[in-house]
Amino acid sequence: MLAIMIGVTACATPAMQSNVSETVEQQILDAARSGSQGYLIVEGLTTEVGQRLAGTEAEARARDWTVEKFKEIGLQNVRVEPFTIPGWERGVETATIVSPYPQQMVVTALGGSVATPFGGVTAEIAYFPTFEDLVSAPAGGLDGKIVFISGLMDKAPDGAGYGPANQKRRSGASEAAKRGAAAVVIRSVGTDSHRFPHTGQMRYAPDLPKIPIAALSAPDANQLERMFEREHSVTMALNIQPRASGDMPSGNVIGEIVGTERPDEIVLISGHLDSWDLGTGAIDDGAGIGISAGAAQVLIEAGLKPKRTIRVVAYGAEEVGLLGGFAYRDLHKEDLINHVLATESDFGSTPAYEVLLGVTEGQEVIKAAADALGLPMGERGTNGGPDIGPIAALGVPTMRFQQDGTDYFDLHHTPDDTLDKIDPDDMAENVAAFALMAWLAANAETDFRSDTGN
């Protein structure tokens, strides 16, 4: 109730409701909604760079591209904050049913997976309908087998199905290795029924053998399940040859609209620059780059000068473990107290349907933005987005526009994540939200922290 009361009170404060303020706010919304700033940025990035896997020369080209773009749209203090990551690159990948029904399947290695032995591994498949079935299987008994973990993912606007479905991707290799398996194939973590595999990062538990793990497309996982309905024994030849490429460069690209009154205080808006290597990273997360940089562009083009600094961050190496987010945290550790609000767009290009709070004070400012955008406040809290998580954990206030991700996992981490999936009007609406929120936060009296003045 307190939160609601604050919100109601906020709507009546003179600062928020003055005609001047309303005019500027409306000007921002109109400029964003009638413009193409965000769409043109994601179009440029996905066309002129394409895929940009973390640590590769393609990600380096993406940084160069972004530095140029940030300068071109008028951002100040444009720079790269470099860091080093463990490189990983994809190689050959094939999955062949040897018996009883010989045929090829569509497969892709999960990020971080080791390779199969050269030439691949051929073994009988042990089928587990769900990840839980594997976890509850006894120790041993899978010696030398290829484990197949299936299990469907539910669709939801907030992506609630992703966490549960993702357990097999994150932990499937080690759970299978613990029981003696030679390799793992999973049903892709996704909600589509197209013949695309979904990649994504996996993790090895310490002190267990590292075995290769790959994802089958949904139609291939269905096919394999039908084979098990017919036969008890199915043999697969799996050959994936990714390689760890040692220390490789990554980096966060930063640009700013320097504040006129409190330039040291930062409102941070962001997306991540790296993508998986299969698609061109349009919805994940070229959209987030376009939304955050496009929002800054709208303010610059309107000649608006925020009191605080608005900082745009294009994080590197998000996909492989939020490495850009952690690098930012480490480099800016001493300065995090000056970060007044931070957010990220990393859930595609569909507009928000609600606004989430990760602040204890100043909620009225965020609610004013939500009101102006016609968005309700959500019940859940937020840590601001994947790359914001590390600084949110150290006290940086956050908020998030909860974009509608109902269809996000149809495309997520597949070859089909391409520009044609993005609606320019959707991008404009997201840019409007980011521009308005950044503007209001940069000019608000509050610093969104409960310990202000302590």
Q: Which residues bind a copy of itself (CB under 8 A)?
A: 43, 46-51, 58, 61, 97, 100-104, 106, 193-196, 218-219, 222-223, 226-227, 230, 279-280, 414-416, 418-421
CA distance 217 to 165: 14
CB of 125 to a copy of itself, least distance (A): 15
Tokens read off for 230:
């017919």
Shortest distance in whole angstroms from residue 382 CB to a copy of itself: 32
The residue type at 426: D
Q: CB count, 10 Å around CB of 72?
A: 12
Residue with smaller CB distance to a copy of itself, 420 or 445:
420
Judged by DSSP in three states, 353 sits in strand
Measured in degrees and rounded to the nearest 5, phi and psi for residue 38 equal -70, -40
To a copy of itself, the closest distance from the beta carbon of 50 in angstroms equals: 3
Cβ nearer to a copy of itself, comparing 84 with 222: 222
Quote the DSSP letter at residue 260.
Answer: S
The residue among 227 and 373 lying less far from a copy of itself, judged by its C-beta, is: 227
**Minimum distance from residue 147 beta carbon to a copy of itself (Å):** 21
Partner residues linked to 267 by β-bridges: 310, 341
Measured distance CA(453)–CA(347) in Å, rounded = 35
The whole-angstrom separation of Cα 314 and Cα 342 is: 13
**Binds 346: which of a copy of itself, Zn ion, none (CB < 5-8 Å by kind):** Zn ion
Nearer to Zn ion among residue 349 and residue 443 (C-beta): 349
From the list a copy of itself, Zn ion, none, pick the one residue 450 interacts with, judged by a Cβ distance below 5 to 8 Å according to partner type.
Answer: none
Question: Smallest distance from the beta carbon of 272 to Zn ion, in angstroms?
Answer: 5
Compute the distance between CA of residue 108 and CA of residue 93 in angstroms, rounded to an integer: 6
Determine contact, residues 347/405, Cβ cutoff 8 Å: yes
Quote the CA–CA distance of 401 and 309 in Å, as a whole number: 20
d(CA 433, CA 440): 11
Element housing 341 (H / E): strand 339-344
- Cβ nearer to a copy of itself, comparing 65 with 439: 65
Q: Taking CB under 5 A as the criterion, which residues in 278-307 touch Zn ion?
A: 284-285
Q: From the list Zn ion, a copy of itself, none, pick the one residue 103 interacts with, judged by a Cβ distance below 5 to 8 Å according to partner type.
A: a copy of itself
Quick one: what does residue 285 bind among a copy of itself, Zn ion, none, with the CB cut-off 5 to 8 Å set by partner type?
Zn ion
Query: Which of the choices Zn ion, a copy of itself, none does residue 284 contact, using the CB cut-off of 5 to 8 A by kind?
Result: Zn ion
Annotated catalytic residue 379: no
The DSSP annotation for 111-135 comes to BTPPPPSTT-EEEEEEEESSHHHHH
Q: State in angstroms the smallest separation of the CB of 113 from a copy of itself.
A: 20
Cα–Cα nearest to 454, from 337, 289, 330 = 337
Site string for Zn ion, 318-347 (x = CB under 5 A): -x--------------------------x-
Q: What percent helix, strand, coil does the chain show, rounded to 5?
A: 35, 25, 40
**Which candidate in 318, 319, 354, 429 is catalytic?**
318
CB atoms within 10 A of CB 127: 19
Nearer to a copy of itself, 16 or 227 (CB): 227
Q: Which does 279 bind (CB under 5 to 8 A by kind): Zn ion, a copy of itself, none?
A: a copy of itself
Q: Are the C-beta atoms of 306 and 257 separated by less than 8 Å?
A: yes
The rounded distance, in Å, linking the Cα atoms of 325 and 390 is: 6
The CA-to-CA distance between both ends of the chain, in Å, stands at 25
Partner from Zn ion, a copy of itself, none contacting 27, C-beta within 5 to 8 A by type: none
Site string for Zn ion, 229-268 (x = CB under 5 A): ----------------------------------------
The least distance separating a copy of itself from the CB of residue 321, rounded to whole angstroms, comes to 24
Our CB check for a copy of itself shows the closer of 48 and 133 to be 48
Find how far residue 304's CA is from the centre of its chain. 29
List residues binding Zn ion (CB under 5 A): 284-285, 319, 346
Catalytic residue numbers? 318
